[in-house]
Homo-oligomer: A and B are copies of this chain.
Amino acid sequence: MRLMTCSRASLALTLLLPLGAAAERPSFEVTSNEVFNPASIAPYAGDHGDVYARIDADLAEHLGELQRWVRQPSVSAQNEGITEMAQMLRDDLERLGFSEARIVPGSGHPGVWGYYDAGAETNLLLYMMYDVQPVNPGDWQVPPYAGELVDTELGTVLMARGAMNQKGPQRALLNAMQAIIDVTGTLPVNVMLLAEGEEELGSPNYPELVGKFEDRLRTADAVFFPFNSQNARGEITMYLGVKGILYMEMEARGGPQGGPTESEIHGSYKAIVDSPAWRLVQGLASLTSDDGNTIMVPGYYDAVRPPTESEMALVNGIAGTWDGQAAARQLGVAQWIDGLTGRDAIMEYLYMPTLNIDGIWSGYTGEGSKTILPHVATAKVDSRLPPGLHPDQAQAMIRRHLDDRGFTDIEIRRMGAYPAAQTSVDAPVVRAAISVFNKYGTTREVWPRLAGSAPFYQFTDRLGLPFVFAGLGHGGGVHGPDEFTVIYPAAGSGIAGLADIEKGYVDFLYALAGK
Protein backbone atom coordinates (compact mmCIF):
# COMPACT_ATOMS: atom_id res chain seq x y z
CA MET A 1 0.00 0.00 0.00
CA ARG A 2 1.21 3.50 -0.83
CA LEU A 3 -0.26 6.73 0.31
CA MET A 4 -0.96 9.97 -1.37
CA THR A 5 -1.79 13.34 -0.04
CA CYS A 6 -4.42 14.82 -2.88
CA SER A 7 -11.26 17.33 -8.47
CA ARG A 8 -13.10 17.70 -11.19
CA ALA A 9 -16.52 19.17 -11.44
CA SER A 10 -18.50 19.25 -14.62
CA LEU A 11 -21.70 17.81 -15.91
CA ALA A 12 -22.37 14.32 -14.68
CA LEU A 13 -21.13 11.14 -16.30
CA THR A 14 -21.00 11.88 -19.99
CA LEU A 15 -18.53 10.26 -22.33
CA LEU A 16 -17.77 12.01 -25.55
CA LEU A 17 -15.72 10.19 -28.14
CA PRO A 18 -14.81 12.63 -30.88
CA LEU A 19 -13.11 11.11 -33.91
CA GLY A 20 -9.42 11.84 -33.65
CA ALA A 21 -7.76 14.35 -31.31
CA ALA A 22 -8.27 14.53 -27.57
CA ALA A 23 -11.25 12.79 -26.06
CA GLU A 24 -13.46 14.37 -23.47
CA ARG A 25 -13.10 12.47 -20.26
CA PRO A 26 -16.25 12.13 -18.17
CA SER A 27 -16.25 13.36 -14.63
CA PHE A 28 -18.56 13.39 -11.68
CA GLU A 29 -20.17 16.57 -10.59
CA VAL A 30 -19.77 17.43 -6.94
CA THR A 31 -23.35 18.48 -6.32
CA SER A 32 -23.10 18.90 -2.56
CA ASN A 33 -21.68 21.90 -0.78
CA GLU A 34 -21.47 20.01 2.50
CA VAL A 35 -17.99 20.00 3.96
CA PHE A 36 -16.92 17.20 6.25
CA ASN A 37 -14.81 18.54 9.06
CA PRO A 38 -13.20 15.81 11.19
CA ALA A 39 -13.16 18.25 14.11
CA SER A 40 -16.94 18.02 14.13
CA ILE A 41 -16.61 14.60 15.74
CA ALA A 42 -16.18 15.00 19.48
CA PRO A 43 -12.91 13.74 20.90
CA TYR A 44 -13.26 10.40 22.69
CA ALA A 45 -14.20 11.26 26.25
CA GLY A 46 -13.66 7.94 28.05
CA ASP A 47 -10.87 7.77 30.58
CA HIS A 48 -9.05 4.51 31.30
CA GLY A 49 -6.39 5.92 33.58
CA ASP A 50 -5.49 2.61 35.20
CA VAL A 51 -4.84 1.03 31.82
CA TYR A 52 -2.83 4.08 30.66
CA ALA A 53 -0.76 3.80 33.85
CA ARG A 54 -0.10 0.16 33.18
CA ILE A 55 1.13 1.01 29.68
CA ASP A 56 3.44 3.68 31.04
CA ALA A 57 4.77 1.26 33.66
CA ASP A 58 5.36 -1.53 31.16
CA LEU A 59 6.55 0.60 28.26
CA ALA A 60 10.09 -0.79 28.19
CA GLU A 61 8.69 -4.29 28.12
CA HIS A 62 6.21 -3.29 25.42
CA LEU A 63 9.00 -1.88 23.30
CA GLY A 64 10.76 -5.18 23.84
CA GLU A 65 7.78 -6.95 22.32
CA LEU A 66 8.06 -4.83 19.15
CA GLN A 67 11.78 -5.58 19.03
CA ARG A 68 11.17 -9.29 19.46
CA TRP A 69 8.84 -9.21 16.44
CA VAL A 70 11.10 -7.20 14.12
CA ARG A 71 14.09 -9.35 15.09
CA GLN A 72 12.31 -12.33 13.59
CA PRO A 73 12.73 -12.08 9.80
CA SER A 74 9.59 -13.16 7.92
CA VAL A 75 10.19 -12.48 4.27
CA SER A 76 7.33 -14.01 2.33
CA ALA A 77 9.02 -13.57 -1.07
CA GLN A 78 12.04 -15.55 0.12
CA ASN A 79 10.24 -17.91 2.51
CA GLU A 80 12.57 -16.79 5.29
CA GLY A 81 11.32 -17.13 8.86
CA ILE A 82 7.69 -17.54 7.84
CA THR A 83 7.00 -20.57 10.06
CA GLU A 84 8.80 -18.99 13.01
CA MET A 85 6.85 -15.74 12.72
CA ALA A 86 3.51 -17.51 12.37
CA GLN A 87 4.30 -19.52 15.51
CA MET A 88 5.39 -16.37 17.35
CA LEU A 89 2.07 -14.70 16.58
CA ARG A 90 0.11 -17.80 17.52
CA ASP A 91 2.04 -18.14 20.81
CA ASP A 92 1.54 -14.44 21.60
CA LEU A 93 -2.22 -14.84 21.13
CA GLU A 94 -2.25 -17.82 23.49
CA ARG A 95 -0.28 -15.85 26.06
CA LEU A 96 -2.80 -13.00 25.78
CA GLY A 97 -5.56 -15.42 26.64
CA PHE A 98 -7.08 -16.05 23.22
CA SER A 99 -9.26 -19.14 23.60
CA GLU A 100 -8.49 -20.07 20.02
CA ALA A 101 -5.05 -19.57 18.55
CA ARG A 102 -3.80 -21.70 15.74
CA ILE A 103 -1.82 -21.84 12.57
CA VAL A 104 -4.01 -22.33 9.50
CA PRO A 105 -2.36 -24.26 6.65
CA GLY A 106 -3.49 -23.48 3.14
CA SER A 107 -2.30 -23.09 -0.41
CA GLY A 108 0.40 -20.59 0.52
CA HIS A 109 2.21 -19.42 3.63
CA PRO A 110 -0.02 -20.35 6.57
CA GLY A 111 -2.54 -18.06 8.15
CA VAL A 112 -2.97 -17.47 11.89
CA TRP A 113 -6.40 -17.54 13.50
CA GLY A 114 -7.25 -16.32 16.92
CA TYR A 115 -10.40 -15.71 18.95
CA TYR A 116 -10.71 -13.87 22.24
CA ASP A 117 -14.05 -14.37 23.86
CA ALA A 118 -14.72 -11.40 26.11
CA GLY A 119 -18.38 -12.20 26.47
CA ALA A 120 -18.93 -8.75 24.95
CA GLU A 121 -21.62 -7.50 22.61
CA THR A 122 -19.28 -6.09 20.02
CA ASN A 123 -17.24 -8.31 17.74
CA LEU A 124 -14.09 -6.86 16.20
CA LEU A 125 -12.19 -8.58 13.42
CA LEU A 126 -8.50 -7.75 13.30
CA TYR A 127 -6.70 -8.10 9.99
CA MET A 128 -2.97 -8.65 10.35
CA MET A 129 -0.02 -9.49 8.11
CA TYR A 130 3.01 -11.15 9.61
CA ASP A 131 5.26 -11.03 6.54
CA VAL A 132 7.65 -8.30 5.45
CA GLN A 133 9.43 -7.17 2.29
CA PRO A 134 12.97 -8.40 1.47
CA VAL A 135 15.92 -6.22 2.55
CA ASN A 136 19.20 -5.07 1.03
CA PRO A 137 21.21 -4.89 4.27
CA GLY A 138 23.96 -2.85 2.61
CA ASP A 139 21.52 0.00 2.09
CA TRP A 140 20.63 0.22 5.78
CA GLN A 141 22.32 2.35 8.45
CA VAL A 142 21.59 -0.44 11.00
CA PRO A 143 21.18 -4.20 10.53
CA PRO A 144 17.57 -4.58 9.36
CA TYR A 145 16.74 -7.36 11.84
CA ALA A 146 18.61 -6.03 14.91
CA GLY A 147 15.67 -4.04 16.29
CA GLU A 148 17.92 -1.09 17.10
CA LEU A 149 16.82 2.26 18.47
CA VAL A 150 18.18 5.21 16.51
CA ASP A 151 18.07 8.88 17.43
CA THR A 152 16.67 11.05 14.65
CA GLU A 153 15.31 14.58 14.43
CA LEU A 154 11.83 13.08 14.88
CA GLY A 155 12.93 11.47 18.14
CA THR A 156 14.07 7.96 19.04
CA VAL A 157 12.85 5.48 16.48
CA LEU A 158 12.83 1.72 16.14
CA MET A 159 14.64 1.12 12.86
CA ALA A 160 14.06 -2.34 11.43
CA ARG A 161 12.24 -4.16 8.66
CA GLY A 162 8.60 -4.34 9.72
CA ALA A 163 8.85 -1.48 12.24
CA MET A 164 6.11 0.38 10.37
CA ASN A 165 4.85 -2.21 7.84
CA GLN A 166 3.26 -3.77 9.88
CA LYS A 167 4.79 -5.41 12.93
CA GLY A 168 5.16 -2.17 14.90
CA PRO A 169 1.51 -1.07 14.82
CA GLN A 170 0.24 -4.67 15.17
CA ARG A 171 2.34 -5.54 18.21
CA ALA A 172 1.48 -2.13 19.74
CA LEU A 173 -2.20 -3.10 19.48
CA LEU A 174 -1.50 -6.45 21.19
CA ASN A 175 0.41 -4.56 23.90
CA ALA A 176 -2.64 -2.34 24.41
CA MET A 177 -4.87 -5.42 24.67
CA GLN A 178 -2.44 -6.97 27.17
CA ALA A 179 -2.61 -3.85 29.34
CA ILE A 180 -6.43 -3.90 29.30
CA ILE A 181 -6.52 -7.59 30.18
CA ASP A 182 -3.91 -7.15 32.92
CA VAL A 183 -5.96 -4.39 34.54
CA THR A 184 -9.56 -5.50 33.87
CA GLY A 185 -9.24 -9.23 33.29
CA THR A 186 -10.78 -9.13 29.83
CA LEU A 187 -11.35 -6.98 26.72
CA PRO A 188 -14.27 -4.61 26.01
CA VAL A 189 -14.92 -6.41 22.70
CA ASN A 190 -14.67 -9.95 21.41
CA VAL A 191 -11.74 -10.19 19.02
CA MET A 192 -11.36 -12.38 15.95
CA LEU A 193 -7.93 -12.21 14.32
CA LEU A 194 -7.11 -13.56 10.90
CA ALA A 195 -3.52 -12.92 9.85
CA GLU A 196 -1.79 -13.80 6.60
CA GLY A 197 1.87 -14.26 5.68
CA GLU A 198 1.53 -13.21 2.04
CA GLU A 199 0.44 -9.59 2.06
CA GLU A 200 3.70 -8.56 0.41
CA LEU A 201 2.97 -11.08 -2.34
CA GLY A 202 -0.41 -9.49 -3.08
CA SER A 203 -2.47 -11.66 -0.67
CA PRO A 204 -3.09 -14.39 -3.23
CA ASN A 205 -4.49 -16.83 -0.68
CA TYR A 206 -6.20 -14.55 1.80
CA PRO A 207 -9.59 -15.20 0.15
CA GLU A 208 -9.02 -18.90 0.88
CA LEU A 209 -8.28 -18.10 4.53
CA VAL A 210 -11.41 -15.96 4.76
CA GLY A 211 -13.36 -18.86 3.29
CA LYS A 212 -12.30 -21.12 6.16
CA PHE A 213 -13.89 -18.81 8.76
CA GLU A 214 -16.46 -17.00 6.66
CA ASP A 215 -19.56 -17.71 8.77
CA ARG A 216 -17.85 -16.56 11.94
CA LEU A 217 -16.23 -13.54 10.29
CA ARG A 218 -19.64 -12.33 9.14
CA THR A 219 -20.64 -11.92 12.80
CA ALA A 220 -18.06 -9.15 13.21
CA ASP A 221 -19.22 -5.56 13.53
CA ALA A 222 -16.13 -4.09 11.94
CA VAL A 223 -12.66 -4.91 10.64
CA PHE A 224 -9.57 -3.10 11.85
CA PHE A 225 -5.97 -3.02 10.61
CA PRO A 226 -3.56 -1.17 12.95
CA PHE A 227 -1.60 1.48 11.05
CA ASN A 228 0.62 4.53 11.53
CA SER A 229 -1.61 7.34 10.27
CA GLN A 230 0.42 10.38 11.28
CA ASN A 231 2.78 12.26 8.99
CA ALA A 232 6.10 13.73 10.12
CA ARG A 233 4.30 16.83 11.42
CA GLY A 234 1.94 14.67 13.49
CA GLU A 235 -1.00 15.38 11.20
CA ILE A 236 -3.47 12.52 10.85
CA THR A 237 -4.92 11.42 7.54
CA MET A 238 -7.46 8.62 7.18
CA TYR A 239 -8.37 6.73 4.05
CA LEU A 240 -11.74 4.99 4.00
CA GLY A 241 -11.07 2.66 1.09
CA VAL A 242 -8.87 1.64 -1.79
CA LYS A 243 -9.27 1.31 -5.52
CA GLY A 244 -9.31 -2.15 -7.02
CA ILE A 245 -6.82 -3.25 -9.61
CA LEU A 246 -6.59 -5.29 -12.79
CA TYR A 247 -2.97 -6.14 -13.62
CA MET A 248 -2.39 -7.63 -17.07
CA GLU A 249 0.34 -8.60 -19.43
CA MET A 250 -0.66 -7.84 -23.00
CA GLU A 251 1.35 -9.59 -25.68
CA ALA A 252 1.53 -9.74 -29.47
CA ARG A 253 3.34 -12.59 -31.26
CA GLY A 254 3.74 -13.74 -34.81
CA GLY A 255 1.30 -16.48 -35.76
CA PRO A 256 -0.97 -17.79 -38.48
CA GLN A 257 -2.04 -14.20 -39.14
CA GLY A 258 1.54 -13.22 -39.98
CA GLY A 259 4.72 -11.97 -38.37
CA PRO A 260 7.83 -13.92 -37.33
CA THR A 261 6.87 -16.90 -35.19
CA GLU A 262 10.16 -18.38 -34.08
CA SER A 263 12.65 -15.60 -33.53
CA GLU A 264 13.48 -12.08 -34.55
CA ILE A 265 14.24 -11.63 -38.26
CA HIS A 266 16.17 -9.00 -40.19
CA GLY A 267 14.44 -5.61 -39.98
CA SER A 268 14.40 -5.10 -43.75
CA TYR A 269 11.66 -7.74 -43.99
CA LYS A 270 9.23 -5.28 -42.38
CA ALA A 271 8.28 -4.36 -45.95
CA ILE A 272 6.41 -7.66 -46.27
CA VAL A 273 6.29 -9.14 -42.76
CA ASP A 274 3.81 -8.13 -40.06
CA SER A 275 5.29 -6.75 -36.86
CA PRO A 276 4.08 -7.93 -33.44
CA ALA A 277 5.66 -4.80 -31.93
CA TRP A 278 3.52 -2.54 -34.15
CA ARG A 279 0.46 -4.65 -33.33
CA LEU A 280 1.04 -4.24 -29.61
CA VAL A 281 1.66 -0.50 -29.98
CA GLN A 282 -1.48 -0.07 -32.10
CA GLY A 283 -3.57 -2.25 -29.82
CA LEU A 284 -2.42 -0.35 -26.75
CA ALA A 285 -2.91 2.98 -28.49
CA SER A 286 -6.52 2.07 -29.23
CA LEU A 287 -7.15 1.93 -25.49
CA THR A 288 -6.55 5.60 -24.72
CA SER A 289 -6.75 9.09 -26.16
CA ASP A 290 -3.63 10.58 -27.74
CA ASP A 291 -2.60 12.11 -24.42
CA GLY A 292 -2.91 8.73 -22.71
CA ASN A 293 -5.32 10.18 -20.15
CA THR A 294 -8.78 9.14 -21.34
CA ILE A 295 -9.70 5.46 -21.61
CA MET A 296 -11.39 4.81 -24.97
CA VAL A 297 -12.82 1.42 -23.97
CA PRO A 298 -16.63 1.67 -24.31
CA GLY A 299 -18.42 1.43 -20.99
CA TYR A 300 -15.31 1.77 -18.86
CA TYR A 301 -16.35 5.00 -17.19
CA ASP A 302 -20.05 4.15 -17.13
CA ALA A 303 -19.52 1.39 -14.56
CA VAL A 304 -17.98 3.66 -11.93
CA ARG A 305 -20.46 4.60 -9.26
CA PRO A 306 -20.78 8.31 -8.49
CA PRO A 307 -19.64 9.73 -5.15
CA THR A 308 -22.19 9.52 -2.37
CA GLU A 309 -23.33 12.67 -0.58
CA SER A 310 -21.06 11.89 2.36
CA GLU A 311 -18.11 11.21 0.04
CA MET A 312 -18.70 14.58 -1.63
CA ALA A 313 -18.53 16.16 1.81
CA LEU A 314 -15.20 14.39 2.39
CA VAL A 315 -13.88 15.67 -0.96
CA ASN A 316 -15.03 19.20 -0.16
CA GLY A 317 -13.25 18.84 3.15
CA ILE A 318 -9.87 17.75 1.83
CA ALA A 319 -10.07 20.26 -1.04
CA GLY A 320 -9.67 22.91 1.65
CA THR A 321 -6.46 21.51 3.09
CA TRP A 322 -4.69 19.56 0.33
CA ASP A 323 -1.68 21.32 -1.21
CA GLY A 324 -1.75 19.94 -4.73
CA GLN A 325 1.27 21.89 -5.91
CA ALA A 326 3.40 20.59 -3.06
CA ALA A 327 2.23 17.03 -3.72
CA ALA A 328 3.17 17.35 -7.41
CA ARG A 329 6.54 18.87 -6.57
CA GLN A 330 7.32 16.00 -4.22
CA LEU A 331 6.69 13.56 -7.09
CA GLY A 332 8.83 15.50 -9.54
CA VAL A 333 5.75 16.32 -11.59
CA ALA A 334 5.41 19.81 -13.10
CA GLN A 335 1.62 19.70 -13.36
CA TRP A 336 -1.28 17.28 -13.05
CA ILE A 337 -2.97 16.13 -16.26
CA ASP A 338 -4.83 18.87 -18.12
CA GLY A 339 -3.48 21.31 -15.56
CA LEU A 340 -6.05 20.11 -13.01
CA THR A 341 -5.95 21.76 -9.57
CA GLY A 342 -7.71 21.54 -6.23
CA ARG A 343 -10.97 19.63 -6.02
CA ASP A 344 -10.89 18.79 -9.74
CA ALA A 345 -7.58 16.99 -9.28
CA ILE A 346 -8.83 15.19 -6.15
CA MET A 347 -11.98 13.95 -7.92
CA GLU A 348 -9.95 12.76 -10.90
CA TYR A 349 -7.48 11.02 -8.63
CA LEU A 350 -10.09 9.24 -6.52
CA TYR A 351 -12.99 8.61 -8.89
CA MET A 352 -11.53 7.88 -12.29
CA PRO A 353 -10.32 4.46 -13.39
CA THR A 354 -6.82 4.38 -14.88
CA LEU A 355 -4.99 2.49 -17.59
CA ASN A 356 -1.28 2.63 -16.89
CA ILE A 357 1.68 1.14 -18.72
CA ASP A 358 3.91 -0.27 -15.98
CA GLY A 359 6.36 -1.68 -18.49
CA ILE A 360 6.78 -2.48 -22.16
CA TRP A 361 9.48 -4.36 -24.01
CA SER A 362 10.30 -5.87 -27.35
CA GLY A 363 13.35 -6.56 -29.48
CA TYR A 364 16.71 -4.91 -29.04
CA THR A 365 16.99 -2.56 -26.10
CA GLY A 366 20.78 -2.24 -25.78
CA GLU A 367 23.24 0.38 -26.90
CA GLY A 368 23.49 1.45 -30.52
CA SER A 369 21.69 0.09 -33.53
CA LYS A 370 20.47 -3.39 -34.33
CA THR A 371 18.02 -3.83 -37.16
CA ILE A 372 15.58 -6.58 -36.26
CA LEU A 373 11.88 -7.30 -36.56
CA PRO A 374 11.05 -8.84 -33.14
CA HIS A 375 8.66 -11.79 -33.00
CA VAL A 376 7.11 -10.84 -29.67
CA ALA A 377 6.20 -7.65 -27.82
CA THR A 378 4.84 -7.43 -24.29
CA ALA A 379 3.43 -4.75 -22.01
CA LYS A 380 2.47 -4.75 -18.36
CA VAL A 381 -0.70 -2.71 -17.96
CA ASP A 382 -2.63 -2.01 -14.79
CA SER A 383 -6.01 -0.48 -14.34
CA ARG A 384 -7.06 1.07 -11.02
CA LEU A 385 -10.72 0.49 -10.42
CA PRO A 386 -12.95 2.80 -8.36
CA PRO A 387 -16.01 1.22 -6.72
CA GLY A 388 -18.51 -0.03 -9.27
CA LEU A 389 -16.03 -1.17 -11.91
CA HIS A 390 -15.20 -4.84 -11.23
CA PRO A 391 -11.94 -6.26 -12.67
CA ASP A 392 -13.77 -9.07 -14.52
CA GLN A 393 -15.99 -6.48 -16.16
CA ALA A 394 -13.01 -4.24 -16.93
CA GLN A 395 -11.04 -7.06 -18.52
CA ALA A 396 -14.04 -8.19 -20.56
CA MET A 397 -14.56 -4.65 -21.86
CA ILE A 398 -10.90 -4.32 -22.81
CA ARG A 399 -10.99 -7.72 -24.54
CA ARG A 400 -14.17 -6.79 -26.44
CA HIS A 401 -12.72 -3.43 -27.45
CA LEU A 402 -9.56 -5.07 -28.80
CA ASP A 403 -11.57 -7.73 -30.61
CA ASP A 404 -13.94 -5.13 -32.10
CA ARG A 405 -10.94 -3.23 -33.40
CA GLY A 406 -9.40 -6.35 -34.92
CA PHE A 407 -6.75 -6.90 -32.26
CA THR A 408 -7.73 -10.51 -31.66
CA ASP A 409 -4.03 -11.39 -31.89
CA ILE A 410 -3.21 -9.52 -28.70
CA GLU A 411 -3.26 -11.88 -25.76
CA ILE A 412 -4.27 -10.66 -22.30
CA ARG A 413 -2.76 -12.51 -19.35
CA ARG A 414 -4.23 -11.58 -16.00
CA MET A 415 -1.51 -11.19 -13.37
CA GLY A 416 -3.76 -10.19 -10.51
CA ALA A 417 -7.10 -8.54 -9.90
CA TYR A 418 -9.53 -7.50 -7.21
CA PRO A 419 -12.22 -4.88 -6.86
CA ALA A 420 -12.25 -1.70 -4.77
CA ALA A 421 -13.16 -1.48 -1.10
CA GLN A 422 -15.09 1.35 0.46
CA THR A 423 -16.22 2.13 3.97
CA SER A 424 -18.58 4.98 4.78
CA VAL A 425 -17.44 7.83 6.98
CA ASP A 426 -20.73 7.28 8.81
CA ALA A 427 -19.72 3.78 10.00
CA PRO A 428 -19.42 3.59 13.83
CA VAL A 429 -15.90 2.13 13.55
CA VAL A 430 -14.81 5.18 11.52
CA ARG A 431 -16.44 7.56 13.99
CA ALA A 432 -14.70 5.69 16.83
CA ALA A 433 -11.30 6.01 15.15
CA ILE A 434 -11.77 9.72 14.43
CA SER A 435 -12.96 10.42 17.97
CA VAL A 436 -9.80 8.84 19.36
CA PHE A 437 -7.62 10.75 16.88
CA ASN A 438 -9.30 13.97 17.95
CA LYS A 439 -8.42 13.20 21.55
CA TYR A 440 -4.70 12.80 20.87
CA GLY A 441 -4.17 15.29 18.09
CA THR A 442 -5.94 16.60 15.05
CA THR A 443 -7.47 14.58 12.28
CA ARG A 444 -6.48 16.77 9.37
CA GLU A 445 -7.95 14.94 6.42
CA VAL A 446 -10.36 12.05 5.86
CA TRP A 447 -10.10 10.78 2.29
CA PRO A 448 -12.82 8.65 0.69
CA ARG A 449 -10.06 6.33 -0.41
CA LEU A 450 -6.49 5.76 -1.45
CA ALA A 451 -5.93 5.75 -5.19
CA GLY A 452 -3.72 2.72 -4.53
CA SER A 453 -4.97 -0.81 -4.17
CA ALA A 454 -5.26 -3.51 -1.54
CA PRO A 455 -7.55 -6.54 -1.39
CA PHE A 456 -9.73 -5.14 1.35
CA TYR A 457 -12.84 -6.02 -0.69
CA GLN A 458 -12.65 -9.30 1.18
CA PHE A 459 -13.94 -7.40 4.19
CA THR A 460 -16.15 -4.74 2.63
CA ASP A 461 -17.72 -6.65 -0.27
CA ARG A 462 -17.40 -10.32 0.62
CA LEU A 463 -18.14 -10.00 4.32
CA GLY A 464 -20.13 -6.78 4.08
CA LEU A 465 -18.20 -5.16 6.94
CA PRO A 466 -16.85 -1.66 7.49
CA PHE A 467 -13.05 -1.66 7.37
CA VAL A 468 -10.65 0.81 8.92
CA PHE A 469 -6.89 0.98 8.72
CA ALA A 470 -5.76 3.61 11.17
CA GLY A 471 -3.80 4.39 14.27
CA LEU A 472 -1.61 6.97 15.92
CA GLY A 473 2.09 6.99 15.23
CA HIS A 474 4.45 7.84 12.42
CA GLY A 475 6.99 5.87 10.49
CA GLY A 476 8.65 5.58 7.10
CA GLY A 477 10.96 3.58 4.88
CA VAL A 478 8.27 1.08 4.00
CA HIS A 479 9.59 -1.45 1.43
CA GLY A 480 12.94 0.36 1.38
CA PRO A 481 15.96 0.73 3.68
CA ASP A 482 15.88 2.26 7.16
CA GLU A 483 12.24 1.44 7.81
CA PHE A 484 11.29 2.98 11.13
CA THR A 485 8.53 3.88 13.54
CA VAL A 486 8.81 6.62 16.15
CA ILE A 487 8.94 5.28 19.74
CA TYR A 488 9.90 8.34 21.78
CA PRO A 489 9.02 11.42 19.73
CA ALA A 490 10.98 14.65 19.94
CA ALA A 491 9.32 17.22 22.17
CA GLY A 492 6.71 19.25 20.36
CA SER A 493 6.75 17.04 17.29
CA GLY A 494 3.03 16.26 17.48
CA ILE A 495 3.81 12.61 16.77
CA ALA A 496 2.38 10.01 19.14
CA GLY A 497 5.05 7.79 20.68
CA LEU A 498 4.57 4.14 21.55
CA ALA A 499 2.78 4.93 24.83
CA ASP A 500 0.20 7.17 23.16
CA ILE A 501 -0.17 4.78 20.23
CA GLU A 502 -1.12 2.04 22.68
CA LYS A 503 -3.39 4.31 24.72
CA GLY A 504 -5.09 5.27 21.48
CA TYR A 505 -5.75 1.61 20.74
CA VAL A 506 -7.13 1.15 24.26
CA ASP A 507 -9.52 4.03 23.72
CA PHE A 508 -10.47 2.75 20.27
CA LEU A 509 -11.45 -0.67 21.64
CA TYR A 510 -13.56 0.94 24.37
CA ALA A 511 -15.09 3.41 21.92
CA LEU A 512 -16.12 0.52 19.69
CA ALA A 513 -17.81 -1.06 22.67
CA GLY A 514 -19.59 2.22 23.35
CA LYS A 515 -17.74 2.58 26.63
Contacts and interface: CB of A to CB of B under 8 A. Distances in A.
B272 A336 contact: yes
A335 interface: yes
Contact of A258 (B268, B334, B374): B334
Contacts of A377: 357, 360
A356 interface: yes
A285 B288 contact: no
Interface of A: 2, 4, 6, 19-20, 202, 243, 245, 247, 254-263, 265-275, 277-279, 281-282, 284-286, 288-293, 331-337, 340, 345, 348-350, 352, 354-366, 368-375, 377-378, 380, 382, 384, 405-407, 415-416, 450-453
A384 B285 contact: no
Contacts of A275: 292-293, 356-357
Contact of A369 (B256, B278, B289, B415): B415
B348 A263 contact: no
8 contacts: A267-B358, A267-B382, A269-B333, A269-B451, A274-B292, A358-B364, A359-B370, A370-B380
Contacts of A371: 245, 247, 356, 358, 382, 453
A62 B250 CA distance: 57
A271 B380 CA distance: 17
Contacts of A348: 271-272
Task: Specify how many copies of this chain sit in the oligomer.
Answer: 2
Contacts of A364: 358-359, 380
A257 B267 CA distance: 34
Nearest to A274: B337
Nearest to A362: B360
A452 B257 contact: no
A262 B274 CA distance: 36
Nearest to A450: B268
B243 A268 contact: yes
